[in-house]
Amino acid sequence: MLARRKFLTTSLLTLGGINFLSAGQNESSSLPLAKDLKAKGLKPGDTIGLVCPAHSAFIKQDVQFAIEAFEVMGFKTKVGKHVFDRHGYLAGKDADRAADINEMFADKSINAIMAMHGGWGAARLLPLLDYKLIQKNPKIFIGYSDITSLLLAIYKETGLITFHGPVGSSTWNSFSTDYFKRTLIEGQAVEMVNPVSKKDNLVQTDDRIYTITPGQATGKLLGGNLTVLSHILGSPYVPDFKGAILFLEDVGEQVYRMDRMLTQLKLAGILNQISGFVFGKCSECLPSKESYGSLTLEDLFEDHIRPLNIPAFSGAMIGHIANKFTVPVGLDASIDASKGIIRFAEPAVLV
């Protein structure tokens, strides 16, 4: 993944007669929050808007794959104006990437908005989003990894349930597609359970659940990519984690960096507020053979999570993996840390 480090200052956008507020004029903090504002669920014939809030769509065929996958599912697509723009590793200038998102929310023909990629750059857009517009036009907004900043900011500023799930360039296999459909089309109060397959082994070795602390917990499910969350702490775009179930995932991070970021969450007071903890996958995060004496992820859970004495487990199908859940951000949920199950109290969309 690309490094995620700095926020830039932002400017005023005007597009199609709609004011897109700049950092200095953003009045989002005064918005009256709608409790658990939900978007309408998808139905055949609906249109999914594809945007690139961060990494550029370097390979046009990836966008075509997404278009064809949605066609198979019965949907139409509309590609954002700046999806193929380039500004270094970004998909164009901050103002243009934000304008694509704002336009998609304003466009009555669009029913859901999905990021094509993660990477880095989405957090640079937070002061440029028109949260009043978003709140007045609630739609499914979905992505993962770097898109975490948008998911959390939109939920915090508008109350709209967002979704940590596939991006357009994801692998649309049966597992991921099934959870996408059950959550966003059928409107089920989904129970998320890891796949069970021993393959040719005596015991299951893949996608196992690791119980850190047994027990059950309830609360709003909030979180996403650990690196992104830790880098927006202190900004006005972080929701209240009091009583929440925190879920995390990451990719390509050395263990000492994971330690540093979990420590940051602890020092910021977030870990001491939550009612439950779920860690998905940290792909490519194992200590290297040269890392003599390194801690492991299990060691970090023992150091940072077990002392909280709250239900906690790791290994959920959340992260940079082919088989992934579609996770509603901000919805009331419960977890069973002994069984590794996440349950939602109600549908995440209006059906």
- What is the C-alpha separation between 203 and 246, in angstroms, rounded? 29
Helix (H) or strand (E) holding 113: strand 112-115
The one catalytic residue among 82, 249, 304, 314: 249
- What is the C-alpha separation between 206 and 199, in angstroms, rounded? 9
The one catalytic residue among 145, 149, 176, 230: 145
**C-alpha distances out from residue 133 to 104, 130, 258, Å:** 10, 5, 36
Residues whose CB is less than 8 angstroms from the CB of residue 24 and which lie 6 or more positions away in sequence, other chains included = none
User: Catalytic residue at 320?
Assistant: yes
What is the b/e burial string over 314-340, where b = at least 16 CB atoms within 10 angstroms of the residue's CB?
bbbbbbbbebbbbbbbbbbbbbbbeeb
Do residues 304 and 268 lie in contact, with contact meaning Cβ atoms separated by under 8 Å? no
Pairing of strands 276-283, 112-115: unpaired
**Helices in 215-345 by DSSP H: which ranges?**
226-232, 255-267, 297-300
- What is the C-alpha separation between 65 and 328, in angstroms, rounded? 25
**C-alpha distances out from residue 315 to 212, 270, 329, Å:** 10, 21, 18
Q: Specify the DSSP class assigned to residue 266.
A: H
Query: Of 306, 309, 233, 242, whose CA–CA distance to 274 is shortest?
Result: 242
The one catalytic residue among 149, 164, 320, 334: 320
Place of tokens 């999905």: 114
Do residues 135 and 34 lie in contact, with contact meaning Cβ atoms separated by under 8 Å? yes
Do residues 175 and 321 lie in contact, with contact meaning Cβ atoms separated by under 8 Å? no
CB count within 10 Å of CB 124 equals 23
| Structure tokens, 65 | 């794959």
Pairing of strands 18-20, 13-15: antiparallel
* Catalytic residue annotation: 145, 249, 320
